[in-house]
Structures are given as structure tokens and as C-alpha cells.
A and B are shown apart, each in its own frame.
Chain A
Amino acid sequence: MELNGALAESGAIRIAQNEQKEWIMERNPTVPEDQWQAMQTCIGFIRENYLSKHFGIAEPKVSAVTFNLDQEASGKTGFQLQQELLQLLTERGLPTETVANADVSNGGIQLAAGGIDKAAGMRYVQGLTGIPKEQCIAVGDSKGDLPAFSEAALTAAPFNGAKELRESVDYFSPFDAEYGILDITNQIIAQKQQA
């Protein structure tokens, strides 16, 4: 299956091998371009004006960034940084909801591009493969997997799954973590072999 691969950052990025066996990393095209631009603009601003001056530590991703602001060194608060980013995006005509909805409660700022979740990732892969939702199975263990579940006909979770999943999945394995995955895949294989 050439399309076997991985989705990272909650469906923002697809990683797979092409026909030449080269690794490729694609941005999820179902995410609006202006959302990507807004995210990259914010990451660039934080790098240039804060990171390069050692005003904090960042965990940048392609579609998100968590910036732990050193308020003493920078003389700024997370709220002030948020206002700077909002002004920047407004000046450039980019969507501002990513920044407006950002979490600044811990002094820094956490940003994630709008329109990205595991449901968007599932739709991306479904579009690439032509496999409809009705023929998809999604397996996960946390609340962050619920969007992916909304784009699958069948769902399963290992025993350590969050309470929200426990009540909604089609199959709740009696085994936890990776043993649950072994159990779930075993059951799928068994059904496939009977088909």
C-alpha cells in the first residue's frame, strides 16, 4: 500500500514514501492557506523578536508553537505578546482567531493553526485514497482522538482509553496500551481472514 504512512501534529502533516522510496512531508491541503500563513507569521515573529534574544524557549511545530516566555528578560507578558501578534496579523490581512483564541494563561503563549484536528487529517487521507468514511476504522485512547473518530465508521480504544472514549467506541479492548492495539488488530485480522 503506497499510501501507508503517518499523520503528525493532529493531521496537519502527512509523512510517507513516494514511488522513489523517498520520504516526503506534505502539509494538509484541506487546511486553509491563510491559516498556514498566519501560523508561520507568528512562529517567525516569535523566533526573530523573542527566541533570538533569549527571551524564552519555544517548541515550534509546523502548525503550532508553544512559547514559554521569560517575562523578566523580555519585560513582556504573554498577553502583551498576544497583542503584538494580533496587530501583526491584522496588518497583513491574515486571520486572527488563532492568536485571539491562544492560551496565555501560563505567561507564555500556545498557538495552533485553525482548522487542524485529527478529523481534518482523516479527511485528508480519505481524499488521497478514495476510501470513504464508511470503510474507515479509527483507534485511539485520548480526547484528542475524538475528531478522528467522527470520520470513521468503526472505532476502538485500548483499556486505558479516556472515559469519553470508553462510552462511545464500538470496541473497548480489555487490554491496555500497546496490548490493546495487539488485541484490536488481531480482531480485525480475524474478521478479514473470514471475509
Chain B
Amino acid sequence: MATPSILHVDMDAFFAAVEVRDDPSLAGKPVVVGGGGDRGVVAAASYEARIHGVRSAMPSFQARRLCPGAVFVTARHARYRQVSDAVHRLLLGVTPLVERLGLDEAFLDVAGARRLLGDAPTIATGLRRRLHDELGLWCSVGVAPRKLTAKLASEAAKPEAGPTGVAPGAGVVVVGLDDELAFLHRHPVEALAGVGPATLPRLRRLGVRTVGDLATLPRATLEAALGQAAGRRLYALARAQDDRPVVPAGRPKSVSHEETFAGDRHGVEALVPEAVRQADAVAARLRRAGVAGRTVHLKVRFGDFRTITRSCTVTEPLDRGHELARVVRRLLATVDVSAGVRLLGVGVSSLTDSGSAQLRLEDQGPGWAEVTTAVDAARRRFGESAVLPATVVARGRAPERPRP
């Protein structure tokens, strides 16, 4: 790793920036994206709103008090995903090694692209300009030898909103191999992933404020204070030991859902509503990922921890709750559940893109396709339990919460 090759691309105030791009009259104004009404939470705020102290995850009423002049818009996640996909496509033009994190961040490994496109800082600067020219959005890019430091570098490249105004950021911050440790050690220790409200007080007691302070402690001390796993992890991070590769997110291999019951369930009748609900949840996740699958799996763990799985493959890929539930119920019927069931799991594999869908003869006229679209829309708006399969609702009680 002679020169840095990892890029961390982080979109600036992404949701708010998309809203401004779609409605130029918002440009330069404080924009707060969030749930409607006073009970919502801020999903994103433009830098102009941040000047007034508005932050993500803050209750909307508080944001209104801090910045009464802000334009409040309701989050449009489908739209953000669409724009995020466009960003992702642009990043893929640089290298196939793009690892997406949520809608507004990604890691790139440009080691192989340097010969064609120039060194990593050049690629970073070019990317930033293209994202702005082609999509009208700004991002900050960190360039470093590792994911750990690349992410800190993109943070350092961000614009900063202070009480006096917005200070433009560097846009691109490059951390070379030689200055990597010094750069890392300057950061407060809470900049490291995994240092949160539980860990921080313990580190403070050891006199640790910066990552540099952390690096002076022996491993044994950290393990004694934080437990073996966490101690070992922070010991390594303080030394910039992070060899996680950039993993391009492919299509998922499978989607599954399982749940342990508070008490063992006896008999098929008691299990069907759970199976149907899980099938419905898995189908919703398949649709969200834009995939459909042909192989359906059922997992059953009995009270004595004996675990069995059953699977079957159907002709056309499934991504609808009622279709998946039908197959799951049939699999369930082949299992003797009289011994009492502790855990039930439903999964789907053999996934393909659901961009095209084989229509069914019974689909003519408004049917399941429209119902499914409407269910997805209602759930996005009102939450997962806004619409439930009748088998589940008919039990006359809320779905059971999983045992932790």
C-alpha cells in the first residue's frame, strides 16, 4: 500500500441537498427534512439550518424553535433512493469496487483505477466535480490508505456550520501513509466507531481524550477496562490497524427472517399466523432490495433445540407476501410440530432482479400487484404494522415481540 487508494465519499446534507436541487427556490434557505407535524424527527438539515443548531435526529418541534424561518419538507425516501442510485452509477464509472453505506456514503478502492485515471487525490477531485456538474450535489471525499482513516478524512473535508455562518470545507482531504498515524491520533477518541456512551466514561477514567492517548495504553489495560473483544479492537484501531477490504455490495444471496417465541408454540394452528407474518416481512424486504427469489426455506427449532429446515423451489421468482406465505404454509404442513416450537424462520434464496415480472392470468384487472404496491406505500408512511395479513390480524392481538 504505497500510496493511499481508499476513498470515502460522503454526500453533503444529502436529503436536504436533493430537496434544494428539485426545488431551486429553496437554495440558500435553511431546509429541514423530516416527518410531518410536531412529533416527527429531523432526518436531515441543510447547512443553512445547521447554523441555527438544527441537527439530524432532533425532534421537529425543537428544530422549529431553533430555526423558525426554516422550510420544513416531508422526507421522500423513494426519491432519495433514486438519486442515490444515480450517484452510485457514477461512482461505478470509476471502479467496480464500490461499497455503499446507506444512501449517502460509499467507500471506493481505486488501486486498480489509478493507472487509467491518475492517482487517488486526482480521482477524488474529479469525482467531486462530476457529482456536482452532473447531479447538482456536493460531496466530501476522504482519501487514505484505510477505510478507518478515509472516513475520518471525509469528515475533515466537510463544510462547517458555525454560529457565524457556513465555512466551506476542503472538499477533499488526503491522508498519506506517512502522516496517517499523526492524523488519526489527533482525533478525539469518540471519533472511532464503537466508542459510545458506554465506553467513553471508562476511557475518560483512564485519562484518554484523543486516539493518540489511546495508543499509549497497553493492550492488557484496555482489555481489563473494556472487555477482551472491545479492548483488543480499540487497541488495533489506535494503531490504524484496519484491513477491512472494500466489498462491493452485490445482490443479496438470500433474505430471511426468524423469531424466537416467548413460550414454545404447539400445533400448526398456533404457528400459521407467525409463518404468514414472517413470509410477509421477508417479501417486503425482497421488494425493497429489488429482488425476487425461487427457493423458499423454512427453519423450525423445537423446544429441545433440535433444528430442522425444509425448502422447496418454485417456477417463478416470488416477492409477494401472499405467494410466499402459501409456500411456507405448505412447508410447515410437512413438519411435525407437536413437540412444541421455540423458533420459526422463513427465508428466500435463488434471487434474481425483479425488474421484470412474469404476469399471471389471474392478475388481470386490479389485483395483487396493485395491492402490494399500496401496502408498501402505506407501510413506508405509517410503519410496518400499518397493514398486516388477515391471518395475523385475525388472532386479535398485536404481533409478539421477539425474545431478545
The finding on whether chains A and B are genuine partners in a shared complex, rather than unrelated, reads: no
